[in-house]
A and B are shown apart, each in its own frame.
Chain A
């Protein structure tokens, strides 16, 4: 069997010009087609770096002018009224932070317990149902979730909590929580999975119950992996646009109290998406929106670098923990 396979492979290769035939010198090198293909692959391999740089360059090109067009006091003020040339980004930054933190507050306990359930407690059939469903959740377009949030969740929030509008930070946070759950669950699962079996065996041998083993040994051992999961979930939540824009009401106000949770809020992403269509190219407002893009880029860049370096470091020590 095995020899036949190797032979057919040999025949396939020997018909091609790339094979070094007996007698031809080693230094004759590869035929030019192969050289061409490999060079193309190399160039395209590096292209991803180029794309990141290009994205950053164009954001800077279109966004930096805002720094000398708008005074710093204005730019970091607490009011965003672009029609009156008031470009205070603080309420937008805080709006994004507020919704993201609220989303993580919902998603972290749900995500970690679900990951624990999948890895530790679920029977096989439940796992077979859960994992594909969570993948389906990851694939549902954000605009569909936003649409569902507008039509189903928002009225529910309004009537059950007796608030004037259902389009609140809370509604957005609920949607964002579910949108970041697939990320959090899968990374947390990897983290739990990489805890050495000996930890578990030791805890069980000491007479701990499965439950005690999970929460006092396995989850604490996986905590830095769980932290990575939370970071990646946050990155997802900060950058989410359509769903947030459709359900948070988009009022640019400072969300400073716990009560703001049930009032409209406006995020950076929603501001860009809602206003970019209406501004003149090259206007101050246009530059300001690209400026928000720069902030978003840098924020997610930092989050991803931190998460990636944590993962790289853990990989070297054997597994994400």
Chain B
């Protein structure tokens, strides 16, 4: 066969393959959007479930997921940002630094269910936190650390070296360079990393299975030692554990979770591209 013909056919196949990758994504989102839209109402968002979760809304699950996400942010951001600053600004290329990088790669690769086991073993049982928001948040925070650190480190490294040397030439210290130049310039990248990390925390089920998630708890939590319902676990429960669950409620829950996660995703993407365009150096 003529080799130009081969090339034409080949490129057509490549296109097909790319379509095979993205078309299912659109189908998943489309089906959940269409089916889930039927369940969406004010009542669905703002009321307690009743009648074995078949009736009413999913307020406690939404609030639970928001609490877990905010809690994870509070716990993970200081450690994540400090870890990033250390790696990007202070660490020299020693075996210890390489060990830190290896640890980050490994934290990123540990299966989410293993985080769940760890949270159960350490926070719930060993530290006697019980099945609680605190235990769940700490577990999720450790899981999000590698995402925050690896994304923010890129942002810090993108700040040109000259900015730091200028500060030094003005008599500033290394910390001042970080505080007044590097961090403000890298802030959008850091926020992107934080959003990407929290997005993972908001959508994960396995780490919260044994650390915080409640099967059915139609009230809002009162203290950090309460259990909460959470959207991902709730979706798992109503789609596998409760017989006779109306489809609309299942799809509605999936839709709320999907919209929450996708909006964080879009926020991260928009933020990144906006600041990339605005950047003048």
Contacts and interface: CB of A to CB of B under 8 A. Distances in A.
Contacts, number: 293
For chain A, the bracket of interface size reads 35 or more
Given A9-B180, A305-B102, A51 B209 contact: no
B262 interface: yes
A145 B205 CA distance: 12
Contacts of B271: none
Interface residues of B, number: 98
Contact of A276 (B99, B117, B175): B117
A45 B114 contact: no
Interface in A95-137: 109-111, 113-114, 116-118, 120-122, 126, 129-130, 132-137
Contacts of A185: 21
Interface stretch (B38-46, B47-55, B120-128, B217-225): B120-128
B109 A300 contact: yes
Interface stretch (B56-64, B66-74, B233-241): B233-241
Contacts of B170: 6, 9-10, 13
A143 B203 contact: yes
Contacts of B111: 238-241, 269, 296-297, 300
B113 A235 contact: no
Interface string B1-37: 0011011001101110110111011101101100000
Q: What does DSSP make chain B's interface, helix, strand, loop or mixed? A: helix
A222 to B, nearest CB: 15
A202 interface: no
Interface string B167-181: 100111111100011
Contacts of A111: 21
A199 interface: no
A20 B171 contact: yes
Contacts of A59: 114, 117-118, 121
A289 B117 contact: yes
A147 B122 CA distance: 30
A296 B113 contact: yes
Contacts of A269: 111, 113, 206
B104 interface: yes
B187 interface: no
Interface of A: 6, 9-10, 12-14, 16, 18-20, 30, 34, 37-38, 40-42, 44-49, 51-52, 54-55, 58-59, 61-62, 109-111, 113-114, 116-118, 120-122, 126, 129-130, 132-137, 139-148, 150-152, 178, 181, 185, 209-212, 215, 232, 235, 238-242, 246, 269, 272-273, 276-277, 281, 289-290, 293, 296-297, 300-301, 303-305, 307-308, 312
A300 B18 CA distance: 28
Contacts of A109: 17
Q: What does DSSP make chain A's interface, helix, strand, loop or mixed? A: helix
Contacts of B118: 54-55, 58-59, 293
Contact of B117 (A51, A145, A240, A272): A272
B172 A13 contact: yes
Interface string B181-204: 100000000000000100110111
A214 to B, nearest CB: 8
B18 A114 contact: yes
A290 B181 CA distance: 46
A239 to B, nearest CB: 3
A208 to B, nearest CB: 9
B198 to A, nearest CB: 11
